[in-house]
């Protein structure tokens, strides 16, 4: 029976020949992930189940990345609880302090997630690893606690929506713009329960960091996972970051899709999502006069070294507008170090940016850049819900890093062409 890449991975992990959309299956998990917000509840669930050890101490990643360096006493207590659990169970992949970066940035960087795997995380943006051709999805803490105890999860096989992207976009248009455009087209419910499978000639030429950005935001359309079929770029990424273990699947040419969407990227403009939904998308040229109080470049969506390179090339020799706060957070310590070595950090500092330590920072309104009532921010993050970055009466706009950088200089939303 013909299958999609998602169906093949799930069938293999359920020890079945084939699976079809709608099947409820019990699946073996290759990597389980939780962070400082979701791990504490997962650990309580694990303890309640009463198993003595986690199913595989090498296959659990605990990343304290959200409210760190601990922003208050309550967050310090949470991280302490996770740290003690990690010590007790000898968890190999426990990260905090100078080892920590954003979970979805450091797992691929450390080679802990591979093509063909099932990766389940207690974080909605776990779908990021679909960029590698893995099946990865977010769950809640109870599911994660059960996985830590049993190494398994129940899943419903999702139907797949195939998204073919064709044409050569302008150099200012990348993965962020394509995914925002798609979410604008299909809405925040457009892929609910479904897989978004990306393909087409534009995708084949797309560098890995932009694929991570696109897979990351599959959840913003309600998707269960976003996935790319591995190709030479994937193999090169895997060879650079991991040891053996990758399994390279492709969808069969006659695989069944619930829907096929085709996007012509040729004349697409950079996209900006207006408050308060990632689906409220406009072309950059149609944004009008939106003055800004803050620009934030970072997060698991756009916190990679290449994202910082994109931003720095726009900011070179320029300065953030007076009164505008420019905050940049590299996604991992390795990216931070490389940004210093390449001179990106200096370019950013010259542009009057504040560079934060690798963590989620203001992305979820945690700390290091919270908005006051009535303030407006442009961010390279993935969500602009009410109150996402601070006061419920603040506003968040979403864009790619080049537009964010240009907007920081302009003091209002605009592109590099306007500098």
Partner 1 sequence: MMFQGKIWKLGDDIDTDLIIPARFLNVSEASELARNCLADLRPEFASSVRSGDVIVAGGNFGCGSSREHAPLAIKASGVSLIIARSFARIFYRNAFNIGLPLLESREASEELAEDDEVRVDLAAGSIERIADSRRFASSPVPDFMAEIIKAGGLVPYTIERIRKGEAV
Residues in touch with partner 1 (CB under 8 A): 24, 37-38, 40-41, 44-45, 48-51, 55, 66-67, 71-72, 74-75, 78, 121-124, 126, 138-143, 145-146, 149-152, 154, 188-189, 192-193, 222, 224, 277, 364-366, 383, 385-388, 392
Q: Which of 332, 382, 399, 402 binds ligand SF4 (CB under 6 A)?
A: 382
Extract the tokens encoding 258.
């619930």
The site partner of 294 among ligand SF4, partner 1, none (C-beta below 5 to 8 Å per kind) is none
**Which of partner 1, ligand SF4, none does 300 bind, CB closer than 5 to 8 A by kind?**
ligand SF4
Closest CA to 195 of 139, 253, 258: 258
Rounded to the nearest 10°, the torsion over CA 279, 284, 290, 292 is 90
CB neighbour list of residue 59: distance below 8 Å, 6 or more residues apart: 29, 30, 31, 32, 151
- Specify the residue, 257 or 385, whose C-beta has the smaller distance to partner 1: 385
Is 364 a binding residue for ligand SF4 by CB under 6 A? The answer is: yes
| Crossing angle between the packed helical segments 39-49 and 73-88, to the nearest 10 degrees | 40
**Contact criterion met (CB below 8 Å) for 259 and 161:** yes
- CA 332/CA 249 separation, integer angstroms: 29
DSSP-derived letter for residue 268 is: P
Q: Distance between CA atoms of 166 and 160, rounded to whole angstroms?
A: 19
The DSSP bridge partners found for residue 398 are: 273, 379
Indicate left, alpha or beta for 116 from its phi (over 0: left) and psi (-120 to 50: alpha).
left
Residue closest to 237 by CA, chosen among 213, 208, 197, 214: 208
User: Under the criterion CB under 6 A, does residue 79 sit at the interface with ligand SF4?
Assistant: no
Q: Does 360 engage in binding with ligand SF4 (CB under 6 A)?
A: yes
Q: Which stretch binds ligand SF4 (CB under 6 A): 47-55, 74-82, 265-273, 360-368?
A: 360-368
Considering the rule CB under 6 A, would residue 408 count as an interface residue with ligand SF4?
Answer: no
169 or 278, CB closer to partner 1? 278
Closest CB to partner 1 among residues 37, 355: 37
Overall residue count recorded for the chain in this entry? 419
Query: Could you say whether residue 280 binds ligand SF4 (CB under 6 A)?
Result: no
Does residue 12 belong to the site contacting ligand SF4 (CB under 6 A)? Answer: no
142 binds, among partner 1, ligand SF4, none (CB under 5 to 8 A by kind): partner 1
Q: Does 123 bind ligand SF4 (CB under 6 A)?
A: yes
Q: Which residues bind ligand SF4 (CB under 6 A)?
A: 66, 102-104, 123, 125, 299-300, 360, 363-364, 381-382
């Amino acid at each position: 029976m013909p299958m999609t890449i998602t169906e093949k991975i799930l069938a293999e992990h359920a020890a079945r020949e084939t699976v079809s959309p709608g099947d409820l299956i019990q699946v073996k998990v290759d990597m389980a992930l939780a962070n400082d917000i979701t791990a504490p509840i997962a650990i309580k669930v694990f303890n309640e189940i009463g198993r003595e050890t986690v199913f595989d101490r090498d296959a659990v990643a605990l990343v304290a990345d959200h409210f760190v360096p601990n922003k208050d006493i309550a967050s310090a207590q949470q991280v302490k609880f996770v740290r003690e659990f990690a010590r007790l169970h000898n968890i190999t992949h426990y990260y905090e302090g100078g080892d920590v970066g954003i979970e979805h940035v450091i797992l691929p960087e450390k080679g802990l997630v591979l093509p063909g795997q099932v990766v389940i995380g207690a974080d909605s943006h776990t779908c990021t690893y679909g960029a590698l051709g893995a099946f990865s999805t977010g769950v809640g803490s109870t599911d994660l606690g059960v996985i830590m105890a049993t190494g398994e999860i129940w899943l419903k096989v999702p139907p797949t929506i195939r998204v073919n992207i064709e044409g050569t976009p302008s150099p200012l248009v990348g993965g962020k713009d394509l995914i925002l455009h798609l979410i604008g087209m299909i809405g925040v419910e457009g892929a609910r329960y479904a897989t978004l499978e990306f393909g087409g000639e534009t995708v084949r030429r797309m560098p890995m960091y932009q694929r991570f950005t696109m897979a990351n935001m599959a959840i913003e359309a309600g998707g269960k996972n976003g996935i790319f079929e591995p190709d030479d770029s994937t193999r090169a990424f895997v060879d650079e970051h991991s040891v053996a273990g990758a399994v390279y699947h492709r969808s069969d040419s006659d695989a069944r899709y619930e829907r096929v969407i085709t996007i012509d990227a040729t004349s697409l403009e950079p996209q900006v999502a207006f408050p308060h939904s990632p689906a409220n998308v406009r072309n950059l040229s149609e944004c009008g006069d939106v003055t800004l109080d803050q620009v934030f470049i970072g997060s698991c969506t756009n916190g990679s070294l290449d994202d910082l390179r994109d931003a720095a090339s726009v900011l070179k020799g320029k300065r953030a507008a007076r009164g505008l706060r420019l905050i940049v957070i590299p996604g991992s310590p390795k990216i931070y170090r490389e940004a210093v070595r390449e001179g990106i950090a200096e370019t950013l500092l010259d542009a009057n940016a504040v560079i934060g330590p690798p963590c989620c920072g203001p992305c979820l309104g945690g700390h290091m850049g919270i908005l006051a009532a009535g303030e407006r921010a442009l961010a390279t993050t993935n969500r602009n819900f009410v109150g996402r970055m601070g006061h419920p009466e603040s506003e968040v706009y979403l864009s790619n890093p080049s537009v964010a950088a240009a907007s920081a200089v302009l003091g209002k939303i605009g592109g590099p062409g306007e500098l």
